[in-house]
């Protein structure tokens, strides 16, 4: 009855064993002295001069990341939609166009939001 899960069980045991062995080897071979820049804040290729100074990242980087995710998702959904458009359009032509325009409308609202927040301005 459990023969179907034998391969999965062996895989799980091997993966766990390899993970434990790698952790033990890392612990044994890792240098004992701490790195001088371990935990040092580093941003945009310019190291900070004072270790006590913690700065926040500007909001435009978060908004740029939002735009990246927004348009990556757009391409991830629009390309498969375009591939199967002819097949699905024969079944429900109005529905598939309405669905895509609704999706693109949400993306355009996100683009307008980022534009209003100044994510597209570089100073």
Q: How many CA atoms lie within 13 A of 87 on its CB side?
A: 5
Number of domains in the chain: 1
Domain span at residue 77 reads 56-117
Question: Does residue 98 lie within any of the structural domains?
Answer: yes
**Phi-psi bin for 54: left (phi > 0), alpha (psi -120 to 50), beta?**
beta
Question: Does residue 42 lie within any of the structural domains?
Answer: no
Task: Inform me whether the pLDDT recorded for 113 exceeds 80.
Answer: yes
How confident is the model over 29-72, as pLDDT tens digits?
Answer: 887 777 666 666 655 656 656 655 666 667 777 777 877 887 78
Question: Does residue 102 lie within any of the structural domains?
Answer: yes
Question: Does residue 69 lie within any of the structural domains?
Answer: yes
3-state secondary structure of 27: helix
Q: Given the structure tokens 């693109």, which residue do they identify?
A: 104
How many residues are listed for the chain in this entry?
Answer: 123
Least confident of 9-18, 44-53, 108-117: 44-53
How confident is the model over 76-104, as pLDDT tens digits?
Answer: 888 888 888 888 878 877 888 888 889 88
- Model pTM above 0.85: no
């Amino acid at each position: 009855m459990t023969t179907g899960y034998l391969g999965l069980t062996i895989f799980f045991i091997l993966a766990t064993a390899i993970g434990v062995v790698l952790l033990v080897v890392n612990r044994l071979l890792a240098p004992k002295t701490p790195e001088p820049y371990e935990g040092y804040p580093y941003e945009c290729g310019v190291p900070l001069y004072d270790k006590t100074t913690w700065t926040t990242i500007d909001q435009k980087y978060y908004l740029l990341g939002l735009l990246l995710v927004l348009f990556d998702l757009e391409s991830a959904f629009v390309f498969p939609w375009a591939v199967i458009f002819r097949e699905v359009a024969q079944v429900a032509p109005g529905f598939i166009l309405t669905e895509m325009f609704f999706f693109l409308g949400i993306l355009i609202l996100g683009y307008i939001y980022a534009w209003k927040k100044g994510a597209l301005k570089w100073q």
